[in-house]
Amino acid sequence: MEKSSTTLLPPGRSIRSKSIALFVTALLFATLASCVAAQAQTAPLVVTALNAGRFYGDANPEFTGTITGLKSGDNITVIYTTVANPGSAVGDYTIVPTLVDPDNKLGGYAVTINTGTLTVTPAPLSVVADDTARAAGQPNPTFTGTITGLKNGDAISATQDSPATVGSQAGSYPIVPTLTDASGKISNYAVSISNGTLTVTP
């Protein structure tokens, strides 16, 4: 008959395995408790940029916002910035708060930052044709007018014309401005056009 063999674990091996498992479990709980304690020590700090608006071509206004939850004595301030400048096209741009913490106090806060919106709206542009007169049978004079509200040196100009001709009878005829937009910027303006009057005398 063959003899059966039995391998015996060294004494205490099972106990050591259980001890290691208990140690790892305890370590995990301690780490978790430490994290929870650290979070409990942080105070909520909420920074919110206020929305703002301006016309195309104007300088940005002074941005403002609110900071809530700041502890007394902590020298934490906020700077609000945007990528938009006077040449930026009509549209919406993000206002971004940036915290300034010279005394390194932010580690005691759980910070929430809310951006704002700068809305750039079309700038008013007024085009007005000047009134003028001539005698019947004469050619039209050189028409003139004014254009007011251009920004950033945009190459937008106006010419004026009238349907009246040399053969037109005495009466009143419109002088109509036409805009020329060499810079492709006219979409950044809210345009108001006022016709002039050509008076043809007998």
Mean pLDDT of 144-171: 97
Residue 34: predicted pLDDT: 47
What dotted CATH number matches 123-201? Answer: 2.60.40.10
Cα–Cα distance for residue pair 124/190, rounded to 1 Å: 5
pLDDT at site 16: 54
Domains 41-121 and 123-201 share a fold: yes
Contact status, residue 56 vs residue 123, Cβ threshold 8 Å: yes
What residue segments make up the domains of the chain, in order of their start?
Answer: 41-121, 123-201
Spatial neighbors of 146 by CB under 8 A, at least 6 apart, are: 126, 127, 128, 130
Q: Is CATH 3.90.1150.10 the classification given to domain 41-121?
A: no
Lowest mean pLDDT among 10-14, 49-53, 101-105, 135-139: 10-14
What's the predicted TM-score (pTM) here?
Answer: 0.74
